[in-house]
Amino acid sequence: MAGGAASEGRGGEGEAPRPLVLPPLRRTARDAEAFARIVHEGRQDKDGLPYWRHLKRVAILADDKLPHGTDEWIVDVVAQIAWLHDVLEDTPYTAADLAREGFSPVVVEGLVALAKLEGRVPYLEWIEQLCATASLPAILVKISDIEDDSSPGRLALLDSGMRARFAAKYPPARVLLLEAAARHGWTDQRRPRQASTTPRP
């Protein structure tokens, strides 16, 4: 009798599922870092150092753009997008692969917005599309990516033609992205620990 009563109490077909007692499992920034290090393994940056160092700098710069008191979930989403922002462009992995790896829709959607396939549209036109459609976390990551790519240390490693090309496209792109971030309600509130220097770990 006791067993039958217990079975009856477990719910039958058609009943609504019980609410979760614990939060749903989700990937974290640490997972994103681990994934990025693996899929970019062996890739070098323009300075000959491991490419993951660029990803780390972008993650730091993006984190720096979040005001104090930002919800920890948003902080983590921004970090995940920063670590993974080049996966779709530079590795064989797809958005579907990332979803199967357990990364959330908001992270995957941010990465899709940041993926520019070569030759599709001019760079600034693509930036305008990104500004119109991307989430604030993705926009902040792209601003941070541009800031790192156009830092004096990285530009010094390029030939004069490439420097001129970057000088023509990055400043106007950054302006468009900052305007888009402002439309999302973002204001530049640099955290004191990162206010004056671009981190170069």
pLDDT per residue as tens digits for the range 71-109: 999 999 999 999 999 999 999 999 999 999 999 999 999
pLDDT mean across residues, the chain:
87
Tokens 């899929």 locate to 39
At 193 the pLDDT is 47
Record the tokens describing residue 73, joined without a space.
Answer: 């979930």
> Is the separation of the CB atoms in 88 and 115 below 8 Å?
yes
Gap between the Cα atoms of 76 and 180, Å rounded? 21
Domains of the chain: 26-183 (1.10.3210.10)
* 135 pLDDT more than 90: yes
Question: 78-82, 109-113, 153-157, 178-182: lowest mean pLDDT where?
Answer: 153-157
At 194 the pLDDT is 42
- SS3 state at 50: strand
Long-range Cβ contact pairs of 191-196 (< 8 A, separation 24 or more): 191/63, 191/64, 191/66, 191/68, 193/64, 194/60, 194/61, 194/63, 194/64, 195/64
At 49 the pLDDT is 87
Show the CA angle centred on residue 82, arms to residues 169 and 76, nearest 5°.
Answer: 145
At 3 the pLDDT is 53
* 177 pLDDT more than 90: yes
**What percentage of the chain has pLDDT greater than the value 70?**
85
* 173 pLDDT more than 70: yes
pLDDT per residue as tens digits for the range 14-65: 678 888 787 767 899 999 999 999 999 999 987 788 999 999 999 999 999 9
How far, rounded to the nearest angstrom, does the alpha carbon of residue 101 sit from its chain's CA centroid? 16
pLDDT band at 13 (very low <50, low <70, confident <90, very high): low
At 4 the pLDDT is 53
Q: If you average pLDDT over residues 125-129, what whole number do you get?
A: 95
* 152 pLDDT more than 80: yes
Record the tokens describing residue 24, joined without a space.
Answer: 């749903």
Question: 64-68, 82-86, 191-195: lowest mean pLDDT where?
Answer: 191-195
